[in-house]
Amino acid sequence: MRMLSGRYELLDPLGRGGMGVVYRARDQQLDRLVAVKVMPAQMLRDEGFRARFRREARAAAGLSHPSIAVIHDTGEDAEGEEPVPYLVMELVEGRTLADLLREASPTLGEAGQIVVAVLEALEHSHGREVVHRDIKPANIMVHRAGGRVRVKVLDFGIAKLMSETATRLTATGLVIGTPSYMSPEQADGEAADAYSDLYSTGCVLYEMLTGRPPFTGDSHSVVLFQHVNKTPRPPSQLNPVLDAFWDQVLATALAKDPRQRYRDAAAMRQAIETGTTAPGQAPPQTPAPSSARSDAPTRTHVAAPPHRTLTRRRLLTRLGAGLGVAGLAAALPAAHYISTRDESTTPTGEILNGHTGGVRSVAFSPDGKLLASCSNDETVRLWDAATRRLVGRPLTGHTDSVGEVAFSPDGKLLAAGGSDATVRFWDVATHVPVGGPLTGHNDSVYSMAFSPDGKLLAVSDDDTVWLWDVAARTTVGRLRIATDPHSLVVGVAFSPDGRTLAVTDDDAAQLWDVGTRRPAGRPFAGHTDSVYSLAFSLDGKLLATGSSDGTIRLWEVATHTPIGHPLTGHHQNIDSVAFSPDGKILASSSDDETVRLWDVASRRPIGRSLADHSDGVNSVAFSPDGKLLATGSHDDTVRLWRLEEGLASNH
């Protein structure tokens, strides 16, 4: 095993991420187990980074609090060709809060204990001018013992270092952070401070109380946009057992304007302790005093956005150019812990590796021989569905993340739409681009669908759906969809007869008559949060919708009426839904890292969830014969599941 500085013996890796690798290690001098974080190679060549690493590590090492993981030592191993900076930390017992949330939300009492411990840690660090900048469940360790929980917050001081360095590393392909817990000011490219930590802590508390973060979506840009522009639902609406005081606590913690949040971590902690010890008593409202408005109303719901407006184009430009990478800075998730996670016995999906960024969409060719996938790595790939091998070289041309792929009904063309606001076509047989890209879209391409006859391509961008004549490469219509100016049209689907187009519209779905370009009937309304995915059954009689409220609904298309109760079981946003070719099974995927199969007739789940992915699952697709299910995930992988074996082993 490798030895660092002649003292730390690296035993086995505990976690990997954009910020390096964390190892279980043995301190030979003191004969104790520790966790050692080794920084990634692309950062090691930056002398400025190494100097900042030493400075920030020393500052973090000065923190001493029961709820902060101890930093024992820092150093640089000089025995190799290049110096290797490393950080030696306390090896923390327990599991990350992220792991616990994937299984079930903590009890209300545990949630209170956890958030109070995090706030006590922030009180200590903020008092010493150390801002965390990356409070999230993966950086919170929880150990249950004797009816109480012990909490340790990881990676203090490291996120600032990463954010300062990240913009110079965009060319290396380094991907940093998750947006679900970022403050509006971080999403808007501003510097993070103590108030940002309080907002992030509020996001964590919101998820513990409701089972989902305040905002979810099928891409980082969608989530960041919501942090700046949308108002989350009061937690008591998602969890009716909650007292109203939790709504008030989060109204302050999640205020868009930092000046309207709690003045410090102690004030937020005291408000929570007051409410949990005296449930009928409203928590004290103590927003930040400097520049606070004297006319600010008392909030009983999560506060609405202030004047700041982050446009979709501005956000996507930031993310693509690397300015947003600084805002996305994060330390290695689940970095150092002793895992006690129970391994699942669910069927294992066969992995197709090759993408170097999150896989956003998957689609089978009409003959089922090929599988297409696209990714945040700006490429499209074709796979042989039988051999699971990559077919040819990756298809390139997009200059930003590629979010959607679709085969033409005759299988001759492959279309891909991306965050560069273009759609590109390739000849499936030769892999040669066909014509120039479709341009003129106002924003990132969020969803696409060919009409059943292959003559039209529907493309959603921002609040509009464009109808393109595929042969002529000209637009034949534009449908202005979104009724809410802060909503995005993120899902489109043609009916099997091609006469109608289903689109998402905030918390509902709407049918449009393709011929008249006008809405057809009343909306499919019933979800309590944004609809992000939809699909027609092959006979066109049913429409499935998936929402960020964590539910799926089935609708009778002819009458626009819901069929039974919503399908529940996912814990976060439903990113994709798809019917099997025979219409008997519905597949759904979610940010909760799982895929679920449902019996359409009984509306009951089929077996256990498919949980092999290690990050949110963005897309699901059935093969034309219904024997395979393909999934694409933010964990950079595609997986193929044999449904006959999977269903048999789950029944």
**Would you please indicate which residues are annotated as catalytic (active-site) residues?**
134
CB 275 within 8 A of CB 281: yes
Q: What is the dihedral of CA 103, 108, 114, 119, to 10 degrees?
A: 140
Residue 45 burial (CB < 10 Å; 0-12/13-18/19+)? Answer: exposed
Phi-psi category of 163—alpha, beta or left, where left has phi over 0 and alpha has psi -120 to 50?
Answer: alpha
Residues in the chain: 651
CB 159 within 8 A of CB 166: no
Task: Give the relative orientation of helices 47-61 and 158-166 as an angle to the nearest 10 degrees.
Answer: 160
Tokens standing for 218?
């099928």
Tokens standing for 643?
């449904």
Q: What is the DSSP letter of 234?
A: P
Which of 462, 455, 456 has its CA nearest to residue 440? 462
DSSP state string for 541-607: SEEEEEETTS-EEEEETTTTEE-SSPB----S-EEEEEE-TTSSEEEEEETTS-EEEEETTTTEE-S
> Pairing relation of β-strands 92-93 and 337-338?
parallel
CA-CA distance, 526 to 543, in Å (whole number)? Answer: 13
Q: Looking at 108-219, list the stretches that DSSP marks H as alpha helix, in order from N- to C-terminal side.
A: 108-127, 158-166, 184-187, 194-210
- Distances in Å between the Cα of 590 and the Cα atoms of 104, 573, 583, 644 are 15, 6, 21, 22
> Pairing relation of β-strands 32-38 and 84-89?
antiparallel
Tokens standing for 341?
């996670």
Number of helices followed by number of strands (H, E) in the chain = 14, 38
Output Rg (C-alpha) for the chain, integer angstroms: 25
Tokens standing for 409?
């009904």
DSSP state string for 303-333: PPP-S----HHHHHHHHHHTHHHHHT--PPT
CA-CA distance, 415 to 287, in Å (whole number)? Answer: 50
Tokens standing for 342?
């129970």
Q: What is the DSSP letter of 283?
A: P
80: which residues sit within 8 A by CB, 6+ positions away? none
Q: What single letter denotes the amino acid at residue 489?
A: V
CB 97 within 8 A of CB 45: no
Residue 423 burial (CB < 10 Å; 0-12/13-18/19+)? Answer: buried
Phi-psi category of 157—alpha, beta or left, where left has phi over 0 and alpha has psi -120 to 50?
Answer: left
Which of 265, 365, 332, 255 has its CA nearest to residue 301? 255
CB 592 within 8 A of CB 570: yes
CB 621 within 8 A of CB 365: no
CA-CA distance, 243 to 348, in Å (whole number)? Answer: 41
